[in-house]
Structure 1
């Protein structure tokens, strides 16, 4: 009887609750083919332990298991607040400042800092700004100096250091952060099989990583381009041409578009 070839591969992400040897071995026994290391979380020591344990389990089971590094990429966040949260209600005005300040009420206006210091130069009236995985939605009304005045669509208790999504806003920011550059060394030191690049917008982002690999490390590792921003779909053919694989990050994409649009976009990126 000929052996059945499995065309669909299963990717398993290791975290604090699945990094022990017994769980890793069970994941491989149950069919995991590829292990993902999420460099948005965990220390280098955690990831080193995970790599060692995956390879030990794979050797025990006489299997080849690929391991890939998922780089964090640029993550824009709110600044600190002068309390545990800032209450913002629908219809109110919230000012996002690219200056360093402690968020709260300043001269009767609610203000929060944002750590992308050139954002005031990159947004326009009518742009949407999403915070905390889309729980909060704001629309830009106007920009005055380094202050972005927004109209609150969805409000609530806004907490410090929450992540910010900026759909369809072209940012003057590299897809590769200084942290990513340091973390990339880990992939070479430990012989990982793939590197995933987060928040890819166009082919130039992938080419930047290729140039970094060749210049600093002397050889290119296979690259997975993560598609999690709507603008990536507008440049999908160019991204496919330079990347080795594509991964649609549906959660982040759903935040930046809408959950009901994701299946359609995933099936037909030119729609």
Structure 2
């Protein structure tokens, strides 16, 4: 049986040597660093703590950086903005949005913010002001993701800060890159070309499938990456949510048929952001991700910003191990029958 990759995400909640050591002892063997808002150089202190913790725990973890890539985000907010259902909000003046959004916001267009937690509907566009009605509200904070379902926006594969981070991968011991919003083989060919030019070919490429373009072109892009990532946050924004498990299974089936390793991520223990124990459905989700053949699983906000990073990793790894034990038992039974 292949070794299962069990990832946490580095962030303020776990950037402490003792906490990280406990997470390694629980079974974590990989770490993700989210570079959506920061650069590698900003994380120097965290990385030093991480490398010390890994050495003391006698673990050589994989270290992945999650690039900005072709993603859309709102700008920096001076303070959180309460979005109340039924209210009108103005994107552009109140909430800064990327230039590429204009021209893709007809009246009636739905706009998803922060992995779909907020839903807006365009009422009117006046120059650089996109006037929207709030359909699902909450408290919005800076630099959250923005998605426009059914709109195709041309975006570069890497941003200038991505390029800068790639140049520093050797210095900081990075082993792989997670490329967001992979749409087709061309995206990965362009990425591989840049990686070659920067003499960083030892990096493993994890292609994040986060939109329907990526799903449609999955088979053609497999030769150009080392791992597929079923990134259920943004992927769930690209379709009615009840279709997400079906699409996850479709991606898994294609990966199995082509012997391509894949990872399942997003909201695997979301309740543990604030609670010390998971829900029943969360542990089932983890168990079946591993049982159905995932080569990797990952916690994101749960360890980076949650209240219980150690406990989350402990539940995560233990549940994964229980799935692996069932697989081993079934394989042994099958062998005995022959």
State the TM-score, normalizing by the size of structure 1.
0.75
Distance 1:17 1:155 in 2: 26
Do the aligned residues in 2 keep the contact of 1:88 with 1:94 (CA within 8 Å)? no
Describe the shift of the 1:188–1:123 C-alpha distance in structure 2 as closer, same or farther (beyond 3 A): farther
Distance 1:156 1:193 in 2: 37
**2:18 pairs with 1:12:** no
Instruction: Give the secondary structure class of the aligned counterpart of 1:77.
Output: coil
Superposed displacement of residue 242, structure 1: 1.1
Instruction: Give the secondary structure class of the aligned counterpart of 2:119.
Output: strand
Instruction: Give the secondary structure class of the aligned counterpart of 1:206.
Output: helix
Do the aligned residues in 2 keep the contact of 1:122 with 1:172 (CA within 8 Å)? no
Point out the more displaced range, 255-264 or 146-155.
146-155
Do the aligned residues in 2 keep the contact of 1:133 with 1:164 (CA within 8 Å)? yes
Which structure: greater helix fraction? 2
Superposed displacement of residue 172, structure 1: 2.0
User: Aligned ranges for residues 17-28 of structure 1 at < 5 Å?
Assistant: 17-28=13-24
**Which 5+ residue runs of structure 2 have no aligned equivalent?**
255-338
Point out the more displaced range, 239-248 or 128-137.
128-137
Matched with 1:37 is 33
Describe the shift of the 1:149–1:244 C-alpha distance in structure 2 as closer, same or farther (beyond 3 A): same
Do the aligned residues in 2 keep the contact of 1:225 with 1:245 (CA within 8 Å)? yes
1:68 corresponds, among 49, 64, 68, to 64
Distance 1:227 1:197 in 2: 9
Distance 2:15 2:82 in 1: 37
Superposed displacement of residue 209, structure 1: 1.6
Distance 2:34 2:120 in 1: 29
Describe the shift of the 1:165–1:217 C-alpha distance in structure 2 as closer, same or farther (beyond 3 A): same
Superposed displacement of residue 259, structure 1: 3.6
Superposed displacement of residue 36, structure 1: 1.3
**2:100 pairs with 1:121:** no
Which structure: greater strand fraction? 1
Matched with 1:231 is 213
Do the aligned residues in 2 keep the contact of 1:187 with 1:195 (CA within 8 Å)? no
Which one has more relative contact order, counting CA pairs under 8 Å at least 6 apart? 2
Once the two structures are superposed, what CA deviation does each residue of 1:132-162 show, in whole Å capped at 9, x if it has no partner? 4424323446666555565554457767755
Distance 1:16 1:235 in 2: 36
Superposed displacement of residue 191, structure 1: 3.1
Instruction: Give the secondary structure class of the aligned counterpart of 1:248.
Output: strand
Do the aligned residues in 2 keep the contact of 1:167 with 1:229 (CA within 8 Å)? no
Superposed displacement of residue 194, structure 1: 0.6
User: Aligned ranges for residues 1-271 of structure 1 at < 5 Å?
Assistant: 7-41=3-37, 44-45=40-41, 47-73=43-69, 74-77=71-74, 85=81, 89-90=85-86, 96-97=91-92, 101=93, 103=94, 114-124=96-106, 126-140=108-122, 146=128, 148=130, 150=132, 152-154=134-136, 162-217=144-199, 219=201, 221-269=203-251
Superposed displacement of residue 43, structure 1: 5.7
Do the aligned residues in 1 keep the contact of 2:82 with 2:137 (CA within 8 Å)? no
State the TM-score, normalizing by the size of structure 2.
0.62
Once the two structures are superposed, what CA deviation does each residue of 1:174-222 show, in whole Å capped at 9, x if it has no partner? 1311221222222132231111112222222222221211223363522
Distance 1:211 1:14 in 2: 28
Describe the shift of the 1:265–1:121 C-alpha distance in structure 2 as closer, same or farther (beyond 3 A): same
**Which 5+ residue runs of structure 1 have no aligned equivalent?**
104-112
